Structure 1
Amino acid sequence: MASGKVCFMATLCSLVILSTFIGSTQSASCCLSYTSRRLPCQRLLGYTVQTINTSCDINAIIFHLRGRFVCADPSSIRT
């Protein structure tokens, strides 16, 4: 009987740890702040649009550069 409780508690703890890890990886892929510097157009490889949803707190334009990403405020983008 005691081994059943231990097994249940171990499974429960594993699920809590796993859900915490999954939640933190989702937020790691979101922009949390914006850059204020200008980016040279010739270095841009592409972009994606981030919208506010359950895992991202701000709207952003994510510019793809070689080896990194830069987040910009969509309301400050000039065309």
Structure 2
Amino acid sequence: MASSKVFLLCSLVILTTFIGSTQSASCCLMFGRRPLPCKRLLGYTIQTIHNSCDINAVIFHIPGRFVCADPSTNWTQRGMKCLDHRKMKNNQILASRAPGNTTSPHSS
């Protein structure tokens, strides 16, 4: 009976350690130094210290990898605005092509 309690306790400790290590592995620990051109950006995710990460960051998604950026820098803000503008533009195009839409995309 005592050995099953020890086994259960050890299992919980190992599981907790594993979950904690996988959580921190997805966190940015430092920022990239070079600005990224908007045309290379596919998207972004905002990391906050409230998500059990040590720093606030913007994680830019680019082909084949992710780049951590300081949310307070001008180039990071420009990259986020560029992606937000692109997404809004794409949503407007999709809405104009929706079935049943009677407005022409070229009408004023």
- Give the number of the structure whose alpha-carbon radius of gyration is greater: 2
Alignment of 1:43-54 (within 5 A): 43-53=40-50
- TM-score w.r.t. structure 2 length? 0.66
- TM-score w.r.t. structure 1 length? 0.88
Structure 1 runs of 4+ aligned residues shifted over 4 Å read none
Q: State the alpha-carbon separation in 2 of the partners of residues 36 and 75 from structure 1.
A: 13
Higher share of residues assigned helix: 2
Over the matched positions of the two proteins, sequence identity in percent amounts to 67
How large is the RMSD of aligned CA atoms in angstroms? 1.2
* Partner-residue secondary structure (3-state), 2:60: strand
Q: Which runs of 5+ in 1 are unaligned?
A: none
Higher RCO structure, 1 or 2 (CA under 8 Å, sep 6+): 1
- Superposed CA deviations along residues 26-74 of structure 1, whole A, max 9, x for unmatched, are 1111111001112122111101111111511111111001221000001
* Number of aligned residues: 76
AA partner of residue 23 (structure 1):
G
Higher share of residues assigned strand: 1
